[in-house]
Copies of this chain bind each other. A is one copy, B any other.
């Protein structure tokens, strides 16, 4: 059984992909390089894909800077030292990102004859993005049933978001139980020239809290 997994190079998508593999799927990894401000994420995605033993790793360039609207795809500053439990959607939200990524994954899945897509979205610890919620995943699955040749011919696409209701600590525990090496991953929104995490953006803050709550040490910080 073949699955398409969206792989960013971060901790969540690595864990989601490992769960897919653990469920018996052969993995085909899709990494969208969407004009992120640094190459560190892509390098991490390649390391993770190799470690997972994927069948194929497709890197698809898509420059979202023309669309703009996010501090991750423009020159706007990434927020630091923010209270991540704050209400509202932060400036790191990339408009329609998961819809775009799932659409691309759906197209590739159709070509590969795969009916399963895995992604690492997470509703609890994920800065409040609208496209990381269960109702978004359910709506996309309904769309896929009418949008594709396979869906029309009777093979609906399943969208798996195995982390959606886990806390970051639970995700980390699950991954460690699966033997994952989180030292391969990269989470920071705004690393310095060395590629080292800043420790102050939302992503670093949430990751640090997750490792602390899981009573584990983040191997990335050991380097």
A interface list, Cβ under 8 A from B: 58-64, 66-69, 89, 93-100, 103-104, 106-108, 110-111, 130-131, 133, 135-136, 139-140, 142-143, 145-149, 151-152
Contact = CB atoms under 8 A, between A and B. Distances in A.
Contacts of A152: 89, 130
* Count of identical protomers in the assembly: 2
A207 to B, nearest CB: 24
Nearest to A152: B130
A106 B111 contact: no
A90 to B, nearest CB: 10
Given A96-B148, A130-B147, A146-B135, A67 B140 contact: no
Chain A contact residues: over half helix, strand or loop, or mixed?
helix
A16 B111 CA distance: 30
A67 B130 contact: no
B135 A139 contact: no
Given A68-B111, A96-B106, A107-B95, A89 B149 contact: yes
Contacts of A98: 147
Given A99-B143, A139-B143, A107 B67 contact: yes
